[in-house]
Structure 1
Amino acid sequence: MGPTPAPAVTALLETSTTVRLRPQFEGNNISYAIGFKQINYLAETAVLNHFRTAGLPVGQLYQRFGLGFDVVDIHSRLGALLAVDDEAEAVVTPVTKDGENRFGFKVDLFVERDGQRLKCAGSTVRVLLRVDSHITAQEPLPAGLARFTAERLGSGERLETAAVAQPYGGFSDGRGTTGPDPVLTELVGEENAFGWRYRIPYFYCHFNERMQMSGFLRVMEEVEDLFLADRGLAIKEVLDTRGWIPVVTQSRIELLDESLMEEELYTVYTVEDIFKNLLYTCRMDCYVLRDGVLVKTATGTITHGYLHEIRPNVWEMATLDEPVVTALTTPRKASA
């Protein structure tokens, strides 16, 4: 057995913490409800507070030990509405198993409804501490922390590609394209999928170089928006004509490798399942092209349905009718 972990590391691994948080107003897109991305942000914020409470805030991890904090896996289930004015109670429970080299935490979000404590979401968050080459550590690591550090995040699957990437068209063309693009065409193939190529902006990144989990949550949200528009289900049009708005019941993203600032991110969004004409699940796979080889850097899934407003501020699940199911299951023909 190794040395006894330092008290701060023991606290990370063994002690639960609770913090009260409010969602950001940015996430209040429809009516008074908060969207899935901001709920994931709350889970991340609760874990950041857990590190702070243990005595290892992320700023000090970087400055003292040369370690970057990275959420490398986040899996959330949404059970009840989180409202814009809610103050959520976030309970963080360590779930790291012996021998695991990533911190694991269960994060449960609770709100008050009519005098009762109601669970609105539950997440599993995994964290890795990435050794940073930009700075020199000022102190040795606390005992027990080295197990959760890595020289890089993962080693994603490498795929040989016959496609020749098109050069970036210039800023006047915008940040991304849905095609025609030879690499996207190859990745999408004959699948019921949608492709999007996007230049990673610096404000989706952290620690000077790589895209962080919140950036991938933004990509997941945006690729869904683009996918629906591509299938003739643009969100505003559907909201205006049917009174329907997408709702998320669960999501997961796992980082497999590093995606670097200003690289081209190739995102493939594949419809995997439609459940009882109520919910549909899509898989998101992200790649970058390095030295002529595609590197898979992230993967995830998200499950959507639609809510419709039966009376002002009262929403219920909608049944997917035949035109919507047809749109979800019929890929648009793309040209290379």
Structure 2
Amino acid sequence: MTADTVPMSTKSLFGNTTRTTLRPRYEGSNICTWIGFKHVNYLVEEAVLEHFRGAGLPARTLFEELGLGLDIVDLDTRILHALHMDDLVDAEVVPATKEGDPVLVFKVTLSLERDGQPVKAVASKVKVSLRPADYLRSAAEPPAELAPFAVARLGAHLPDRQVVPVAAPADNTALSQGRGTTAADPVLEQLTEGDNAFGWKWRIPYPYCHFTERLQMSGYLRQMEEVVDLFLADRGISIKQLLDDRKWIPVVPHSRIQILDEALMEEDLYTVYTVEGVFKDFTYTSRMDCYVVRDCRLVQTATGRITHGYALIESRRDWRLVNFDDRVVRALNGEPTAG
């Protein structure tokens, strides 16, 4: 099969609304039966992949026959109502690509039934790039309809960023380090200096990558979830501590991740988590920035933001949002706490 014979429908890809039903994965239910933000975003991703399948362009065909990797490069998701284990979710994907856009754009809505009534649970905007595969032999030219969205590297459609010289990296991500390091590291120190920030350096593992070489969007979602976990533990308010002390859990109404460049399998990834603001002791927003070091300079590969609040578990089924207390506010602001 060649690019000329792939039975695709760009009319469907760019013009038709797709509807499908999905269920969240069991893995995503970590506290009681609620589904975390990462797995909510996995549902959004799956809805977009189903839209491509419906247009005769599943990710497998794009890669195997056309040499194009389907990469979600921007994922902006608002969670309006909590999803639970075993929920049946109605996913709607509406194409929103405009003439001249360098990426494919989709609006995704996840809805479900609560007490016999339909409820809009999630609203997301997704952007997709098509990355020609150059790991193996060179791929053929993409079909004309898809060519505007093919990029030589992820993030190539974005403005160039400032080149930042970097300190000599330390060799401290050996396998014996496990989850990497958050300790003294010259690059982390450069990236976090003067900010209310937490830094983490980690070797990019194979399971976070796709198309043989690069970190994918779901890997960055896992990275965001992990760095929050490490940050809270570093500030003395780990997730388990607040669960044990007061039955509080973090909840996420909004998250966004944007891929700016490519991060490759087994590179060291420097992740910086910066608290940007605490609002009315009810929510706080943070920024995640990810970097690799190449040719003695920093290359920023992703940026993202996440909004957190806290909820009190009232029963195995119910929770309610609560205000932060002084201990939590001081920890988030990087101030000493009494414990």
Per the TM superposition, whether the score is higher than 0.5 is yes
Match of 1:29, SS state, is strand
Q: Would the alpha carbon gap of residues 116 and 138 (structure 1) be closer, same or farther in structure 2, given more than 3 Å must change? A: same
| 3-state DSSP of counterpart to 1:56 | coil
Which amino acid in the other structure matches residue 303 of structure 1? T
SS at structure 2 position matched to 1:183: helix
Q: CA-to-partner distance for each residue in 1:106-138, whole Å, 9 max, x for gaps? A: 010010111111111111110000011134477
* Structure 2 counterparts to residues 75-224 of structure 1, below 5 A: 75-136=76-137, 141-155=142-156, 157-224=161-228
Amino acid at match of 2:48: V
**What stretches of structure 1 move > 4 A for 4+ residues in a row?**
136-140
Moved more, 132-141 or 293-302: 132-141
| Amino acid in structure 2 at the alignment position of 1:83 | H
**Within 1, Cα distance between the matches of 2:309 and 2:252?**
6
**Cα deviation per residue 1:162-185 (whole Å; 9 max; x = unaligned)?**
422101352112141111111000
Q: TM (normalized to structure 2)?
A: 0.93
Identity %: 52
- Identify the match of residue 277 of structure 2 among 273, 289, 303: 273
Of 306, 320, 323, the match for 2:324: 320
Q: Compared with structure 1, are the counterparts of its residues 57 and 162 closer, same or farther at alpha carbon in structure 2 (3 Å cutoff)?
A: closer
Amino acid at match of 2:74: D
CA contact (8 A) 1:193 1:331 kept: no
* C-alpha RMSD over aligned residues: 1.6
Distance in 1 (CA, whole Å) between partners of 2:173 and 2:252 is 34
Worse overlay, 160-169 or 266-275: 160-169
Distance 2:259 2:304 in 1: 9
Unpaired segments ≥5 residues, structure 2: 1-6
**Selected match of 2:243 from 231, 239, 245:** 239
Q: Which amino acid aligns with 1:141?
A: P
Q: CA deviation at 1:259?
A: 0.3
Is residue 293 of structure 2 the alignment partner of residue 282 of structure 1? Answer: no
Q: Name the CA distance, whole Å, in 1 between partners of 2:335 and 2:103.
A: 38
Counterpart of 1:296 in structure 2 is 300
Secondary structure (helix, strand or coil) at the match of 2:84 reads: coil
Question: Would you say how many aligned residue pairs link Structure 1 and Structure 2?
Answer: 327
Q: Which letter does structure 1 place at the counterpart of 2:193?
A: G
Deviations 1:224-281 (A, max 9, x none): 0000000000110110001100000000000000000000000110001111111000
Normalised to the residue count of structure 1, the TM-score between the two structures is: 0.94
Structure 1's unaligned 5+ residue stretches are 1-5
- Between the aligned partners of 1:320 and 1:242, the Cα distance in structure 2 is 12
> Could you tell me which residue of structure 1 aligns to residue 3 of structure 2?
none
Aligned match of 1:20? 21
Distance 2:284 2:137 in 1: 47
The secondary structure found in structure 2 opposite 1:150 is coil
Q: How far is 1:154 from its partner?
A: 1.6
